[in-house]
Structure 1
């Protein structure tokens, strides 16, 4: 890929220079993050309703979380809160808030704000954000104990309550709003403009393609000794306009951190700008996304209602080839259903040590032996039985070349092994709205095990018999779209119920995971493939301290609520 200066890149620079630097903040004191979408309503900062209202810097610079989950250790790093306690059955949680926290207008942040915001979610059905809906489903009541203490009573036991709702487990967390501004407003329509937060940056301006945030040198964290002021004086989120233009902006030092690019684009950027790095210094370069990829199988449709036939497909699939061809070496084969983070290592290791881990290479002969054991005979290119050719349609979301390239590889592998496989591309809305939730597929490519990043239940709990519905009915929350049922699934579900009731960190959980996994291995209701990959270029021309595998204070997804950690770790490159 040849990078050239284009009108688009020049326009982006002119926008940044004219609008962003109008207040004489130098480029050396400004960090610029890539924004991969248009800001739908630049004047609306109500995060409780759908739309782009926080990814353009609001929850990365202005709205701070109570805790931040560390993907490397699995621990919750305290932020606005200092800790929590829970009762024995995990139905009551008491959170301790940090003293001295202030909103940027000088008002104290305290338990009143937490109770007020949670009650907004509990009492206003029009609030539709995922985090607000989760709070409404889980919390029976919330009360102030004192200015720094809040008690939650849940509708049902949930040992994962804190990390799910307040720990930035995936993308965001339930964000606390200032009671003294929101009180009396309709939370379903309030625009909250100008917005305020407790973070070290305040809102300066926004348009459809950029948002600017300036450092608040009176930030509570520096005044109380919690943390020094971050080094960047200004933070900009700038819409790059796609892979080619973001590459040009990175190469010319007009971006400091970019969204996902292909390996070819990354190597072209590095050739022009050697200061650009990634999560790994060499292959696979990319960081693992929480949603590992897998092949979904509808267990109600013959012949894939037969566990041996599903296991045959698992043997035939060569994960190494998927890595090398579809991903061009920028990811790694999955050993289990889980994202391969340090915090998940105890559970992955338990599964592998029990003998249920997946090999990266194929064993086609073993797969064919299983097929032949079920009465199929190779007749030319394909297996046949009772005059029927062994075939399968694999639905794939056409929205990304990653998805279609992966299925193209799998289709070729199955064809060579004697299964007449065919890719069925469908557009994004049909895939997520009709194909997956209603079980309208034989096999499909997706990531429905997504969820577990520090404990196993979030992913494993998605395959219990409690979520089995007939084909044609919508699977609840995309859970168990495979319609996996029967004695093995029931035994698996019983173990899941045990794990669900145990506190995080219970020393028996890895063993229970391995015990449950024997049923997944025997029945293969889905087939893990490879880790999801995000190749995110990070530029050290102006700033160092980016998160990498060698500097693993947390993961590098800078559109998440934990980006506060990234910004606080940045240091001027000249230091």
Structure 2
């Protein structure tokens, strides 16, 4: 009897041909690397990234092959590795940053890439409020002015001190970075309507063809990086980003070697792929297989609603939750329990270790008795299945986004754990738009499942700064940037905020920061305005039939997220299989 994956073979192979793979006969399969695309390209002849808040104009190959970043953040080491730029320096107050560009960089049409391009592109973002891309809006909020010092030097003056300015905006910190466009092509165009087609970039690949379900990029005859000795030309002659059509079809494309790197799949699908194609690997050779996503999962708690306005009651829930059970049941072993609020990357180790060494790390296993003791100390008495107090049953509704089984399965596990411990917990599934548009930002929940600590991948402030008292607004008002939707306030929150404010002004790599993180974390541990759960998991199959050199835990030159702007590193590391 054939598996569901094999039963889909005929239709998927036909889909692959219709998607343009059959059009690539002039480049051999063994010279082509094919990446999975998880969405439709709505406008394949429009490469104006300023007007695309979804990022699809970039992730279909543009910022992985054609447009290059100034720097690339290494998730393993925390180092900001130079690419189109070679360095960045600030003044003592972090209000002025000077970037040095690499000499010899050229656009694919032969024009020089220089400070004029940077100043022009930043100016476009600063002067046009209607440009919706997140990176443009972020830069617009931070930069007061930008000026050319010389052809290879650019100076930024900021609205406020920011020691993280370069990595936040130009370092591919999470997924994307602010991309520089060629002034000689864009000048005189309306940036709100310009389609930038056909596009050009500084990268080693150029646009070949596109459709709503695929983009094809071909290697150029020459590239500045090879010409200057910065880096050899990459080996793949062609790069294709192909919309796979969902998990079952992407699985078959992997089995039949028509896909080299796939988007996230379940553990069952991955094991089925590997059983039929042993050349397919993942980040880890064995469990948990998956790589950690930057947005670790957690349980949000509205600290204004009784009885969860009581820190001891929130800590009780933290004791009752068994993270290892969430890993084993909801994630089928493909992730690991969170020790802190942070994503567990090598670059975050100094801060995670400081918190754990100070005694504020969370255990993977539960301590239900300790949790129940805290509940009982607050006057609740177990009466049958649940705790009661003054005739009221201890209960909680937990809102969860119904868009993913990952989310609902996790909350199902937590609900069962709380029920067994004596809390009448119920899951409240809501559709994606309501969850993000109404529930979270307006504090319309008692507890909810999300990842609002997301941000820190190489330093702690990006996540910790999301819970300071400056962002507290009343329930019913929108929390700014989804920050502190818990409405955490009071003496402990103020003490925490003061320490986090001190962290915000310190340089990256400041030796005092890990100790400050632990000092601030004591207040999170004492008050639990949110409860870290598990690391987010991306199980990404990678095929070694034609190409080796994929990023893995044992070959950790960077993360395996091939839809991100650091994919240049992945492509440059690929070598033909022997």
Same fold (TM over 0.5): yes
**Residue 196 of structure 1 aligns with which residue?**
200
Aligned pair partner of 2:32 in 18, 30, 35: 30
- Note if 1:12 corresponds to 2:15: yes
- Note if 1:113 corresponds to 2:117: yes
**Residue 405 of structure 1 aligns with which residue?**
409
State the distance in 2 between where 1:537 and 1:12 align. 20
**Residue 182 of structure 2 aligns with which residue?**
178
Give SS of 1:466's match.
helix
Q: Does the aligned pair in 1 maintain the 2:265–2:540 contact within 8 Å? A: yes
State the distance in 2 between where 1:13 and 1:46 align. 27
**Residue 483 of structure 1 aligns with which residue?**
487
**Residue 469 of structure 1 aligns with which residue?**
473
Give SS of 2:57's match.
coil
Q: Does the aligned pair in 1 maintain the 2:20–2:214 contact within 8 Å? A: no
State how 1:441-460 maps to structure 2 within 5 Å.
Answer: 441-460=445-464
Q: Does the aligned pair in 2 maintain the 1:217–1:229 contact within 8 Å? A: no
1:78: how far off?
Answer: 0.3
Q: Does the aligned pair in 2 maintain the 1:20–1:236 contact within 8 Å? A: no
State the distance in 2 between where 1:63 and 1:315 align. 48
Q: Does the aligned pair in 2 maintain the 1:376–1:385 contact within 8 Å? A: yes
CA 1:530 to 1:18, structure 2 compared with 1: closer, same or farther past 3 Å?
closer
**Residue 44 of structure 1 aligns with which residue?**
46
State the distance in 2 between where 1:57 and 1:486 align. 47
1:96: how far off?
Answer: 0.4
- Note if 1:522 corresponds to 2:526: yes
State the distance in 1 between where 2:211 and 2:370 align. 58
Q: Deviations over 1:441-496 (max 9, x none)?
A: 00000000000000000000000000000000000000000000000000000001
1:8: how far off?
Answer: 3.2
1:433: how far off?
Answer: 0.1
1:15: how far off?
Answer: 3.0
Q: Does the aligned pair in 2 maintain the 1:280–1:548 contact within 8 Å? A: yes
Q: Does the aligned pair in 2 maintain the 1:200–1:219 contact within 8 Å? A: yes
State the distance in 2 between where 1:387 and 1:180 align. 74
1:18: how far off?
Answer: 5.3
**Residue 168 of structure 2 aligns with which residue?**
164
1:19: how far off?
Answer: 4.7
CA 1:469 to 1:17, structure 2 compared with 1: closer, same or farther past 3 Å?
closer
State the distance in 2 between where 1:515 and 1:224 align. 47
Runs of 4+ displaced beyond 2 Å: 5-8, 15-20
State the distance in 2 between where 1:221 and 1:208 align. 31
Q: Deviations over 1:163-186 (max 9, x none)?
A: 000000000000000000000011
- Note if 1:84 corresponds to 2:98: no
* Structure 2: gaps of 5 or more residues: none
Q: Does the aligned pair in 2 maintain the 1:292–1:532 contact within 8 Å? A: yes
Aligned pair partner of 1:220 in 211, 219, 224: 224
Q: Deviations over 1:503-542 (max 9, x none)?
A: 1000000000000000000000000000000000000000
TM-score (norm: length of structure 1): 0.99
State how 1:537-548 maps to structure 2 within 5 Å.
Answer: 537-548=541-552
- Note if 1:62 corresponds to 2:66: yes
State the distance in 1 between where 2:220 and 2:22 align. 19
1:270: how far off?
Answer: 0.2
State the distance in 2 between where 1:450 and 1:518 align. 20
Q: Tell me which moved more, 442-451 or 211-220.
A: 211-220
State the distance in 1 between where 2:260 and 2:58 align. 19
Give SS of 2:34's match.
strand
State the distance in 1 between where 2:93 and 2:568 align. 33
**Residue 3 of structure 1 aligns with which residue?**
5
- How many residues were matched structurally? 573
Q: Deviations over 1:130-180 (max 9, x none)?
A: 000011000000000000000000000000000000000000000000000
CA 1:18 to 1:264, structure 2 compared with 1: closer, same or farther past 3 Å?
closer
Q: Does the aligned pair in 2 maintain the 1:2–1:268 contact within 8 Å? A: no
State the distance in 2 between where 1:370 and 1:337 align. 23
State the distance in 1 between where 2:444 and 2:194 align. 40
**Residue 131 of structure 1 aligns with which residue?**
135
State the distance in 2 between where 1:16 and 1:434 align. 38
1:6: how far off?
Answer: 3.2
* Structure 1: gaps of 5 or more residues: none
1:17: how far off?
Answer: 6.1
State the distance in 1 between where 2:378 and 2:80 align. 49
**Residue 273 of structure 1 aligns with which residue?**
277
Q: Does the aligned pair in 2 maintain the 1:397–1:403 contact within 8 Å? A: yes
- Note if 1:321 corresponds to 2:325: yes
TM-score (norm: length of structure 2): 0.98
Q: Does the aligned pair in 2 maintain the 1:319–1:333 contact within 8 Å? A: yes
1:20: how far off?
Answer: 3.8
1:217: how far off?
Answer: 2.0
Q: Deviations over 1:384-423 (max 9, x none)?
A: 0000000000000000000000000000000000000000
1:57: how far off?
Answer: 0.2
State the distance in 2 between where 1:390 and 1:567 align. 54
1:218: how far off?
Answer: 1.1
- Note if 1:387 corresponds to 2:391: yes
State the distance in 2 between where 1:35 and 1:534 align. 15
**Residue 147 of structure 2 aligns with which residue?**
143
Give SS of 2:58's match.
coil
State the distance in 1 between where 2:518 and 2:527 align. 14
State how 1:257-296 maps to structure 2 within 5 Å.
Answer: 257-296=261-300
Q: Does the aligned pair in 2 maintain the 1:20–1:212 contact within 8 Å? A: no
Q: Tell me how large the CA RMSD over aligned residues is.
A: 0.8
